[in-house]
Structure 1
Amino acid sequence: MTVSTAIARLNAADQDFARHLDHLLSWESVSDDAVNQRVLDIIKAVRERGDQALVEFTQRFDGVDAKTIEDLILDRERLELALTRITPVQREALEKAANRVRIYHERQKQDSWQYTEADGTVLGQKVTPLDRAGLYVPGGKASYPSSVLMNAIPAKVAGVSEVVMVVPTPRGEVNELVLAAACIAGVDRVFTVGGAQAVAALAYGTESVPQVDKIVGPGNIYVATAKRHVFGQVGIDMIAGPSEILVVCDGQTDPDWIAMDLFSQAEHDEDAQAILVSPDAAFLDRVAASIDKLLPTMERAGIIEKSINGRGALIQVRDMQQAIEVANRIAPEHLELSVADPQAWLPQIRHAGAIFMGRHTSEALGDYCAGPNHVLPTSGTARFSSPLGVYDFQKRSSIIFCSEQGASELGHTASVLARGESLTAHARSAEYRILNEKGN
């Protein structure tokens, strides 16, 4: 296969740089009317006909010869069997990655707290895990055991009682690595269903699929559209866009390393985005040469080529300070600081899903086994969003206990504000607790 790249070259000094950058970054996850209506029909069918609809959709869309819902359920024994079917090297890698992910997320756990004021009033916060979480996992050849670890382990660390996984098995194709990862991560139940129908089942429940409190995990446009529609009935993690990497480099890293780092995200799909920012124009030339040299050696060269040509860029900046400004403007999912002293620049990074520090820290390590979560905000949403974590599987309830004296004191304040809003019942409810001058 012949492949070639014509990656965009931008210069921050150009007058129209901002316009070109905005165009490069623009991406809309918009379902067309046909997809939207199809998803609504599927959700309606699952709500009305439950398990039977799941079986029919799985037969139709996945080509699975399932007669009843029992044919789409995998028990814990089946997950344990998967552990014996993968190679010892694969099992060791999964267990090591799972352990690192678990250790990292243990540090995110939040505890309940309270404090008592001088008059005896007690205020605080009660932290409680969700009862049940749903995990969507892509199936077939596009299988990601790493996503199972990254989604299920934080839920279990948070204390979620039950994690329910849905994973399609197109034409009956089961991925043993995914099932093994589910076993190691502590997944409680697995249903071999996918698409919008799986999301609907998790959101509303069927005779066999339990209703969950939150749905996490990546999927195609039908899955993303379904998550949009069920949000509010259940929580969701995010509506993720294409994968992104932004590398900020001072020009001293091996250009082959940088080219491969860009490829590591470009190979996800044609809409993925890989951008390099550097003040060194000659280095950008060397990386461009490395891209052309290495691309023909890649198994997914066709996908990488379309991604690099369509949404990739090499951006020249004035200096490292401007490079950081551009990085904050982009707010990337993955940010590599491939520089001599990344710690010096870290305080200036305001927007990034994950920050990879130094020349030896490839983004790929974060995808699999470094420890932090690889479920990250995309499409500039790192400006206001965070990586998936234990906190996504915990709720916080406010605690308020007023002593007699405290209720009387607060009652005066509440009364004034409530009457100012013309909410008389609010005011009188607070006023009933105000002590008179005699203390009764």
Structure 2
Amino acid sequence: MISKEEIGKFEGELNSFSSTIRENALSELIQLMENGEIIAEQPCEEHNMHCHTFYSYNGYGYSPSYIAWWTKKHGLFASGIVDFDVLDGADEFLKSCSKLNVRGACGIETRVFISELIDKEINSPGEPGISYHMGVGFQSGDVAPEVKDFFTSLKKTASDRTREIVKKVNAFLAPVELDFERDVVPLTPAGNVTERHVCEAYSTKAEKVFTDNASRAKFWSEKLGVSSDEAGKLILNTVKLQGVIRSKTMKSGGVGYVKPKPESFPPLKQMNEFTLKCGGIPVITWLNGESAGEADPDKLLELHIKYGAAAINIIPDRNWNLPDPEMKKKRVAELHKIIEASKKKGLPIIVGTEMNAPGLKLIDDFSSDALHPYFKDFTDGAAIVFAHSLLQKKGMGYLSAWATENFRDVFDKNKFFIKAGRKLSPSAWRETEKLQ
């Protein structure tokens, strides 16, 4: 019988930056499960359809293969990966899901410019007209030839911005200065550096420059504008320290903040066209309903639908799991308002925890009073996205010509894709007769 330590070794190797090591580790784990030495938990309806991988930033260092394995091991209904500006993990994730026979979907997240809301904040605080936006249901990381230049520009724009941030912050944090290629790029498996990677690198570099706690605490106290006592606590908690570095130096008001212009990001319409060309579903992302751009749910949804959006993504935990009772009450009301508005328009609702910072939940608390009434809606959303991912290759995707011709309306279509998503699995390519 294999030991827990040996299983842990293989699971750890799933997060190696070497694709060969990851693939071999997954094969070993699958064999152990087939031999009965690893027993998966009983299937359940819980899911996480918004998991960043280490191809953008995962707070636990998880790879696409690991997330697929985690989905299988814990009997989850489905999982979905979403990375900023890249689809580097798409093929690996879908291949791993197929091997493990678990439901999965791939997505991309970026920021877009919405001209109609140029004077209003939407879901990117302090940045009027700029909105986080997604596409889900991609079949591969290889995009259609006609949109390759656009796709390449997403990553380049993000990379250029991050390099500019480092240049500005280096001058401020001297002598704790980063060499981008030497200190930051190695923290990623494919060079897609984010602000979180940069903060991790600054934290590590400070430990090398100031080797004793007292001098390091003094440095961070002066640079971050916090008390000596607070700095002393921060250096003992690198997760919190990195968060403060990011908020104090890289966000609005910080020395490294790069204020976006309308031309800094693609127009909403262009991003949706890219997603559609790749066989995906354009997806609205919603923050908390408190901004001017999100104040009227119906108006916001109608604007997005006009430009081709066909689903909505929500990160529920930040809208109900709050210590302040009054703030919680307000956020939950806004959360329920956007859910009800989305349901009325037939928009599938996708939820998840992001996993893009240490400490974030791996699974939403679907039993909470705030989420339990909508648990079935969330699971239905996961089923729809998975069914689309599976059937798009057959020309039967959620937004395909076939779907347009075969369903009376979006509600009729949703019933079919929910049923398909629940009945089918990655190994069930020839089981479409179940849908009859």
TM-score (structure 2 length as normaliser): 0.23
More RCO (CA 8 Å, sep 6+): 1
Higher strand content, 1 or 2: 1
Structure 1 or 2, whichever has the larger Rg, is 1
TM-score (structure 1 length as normaliser): 0.23
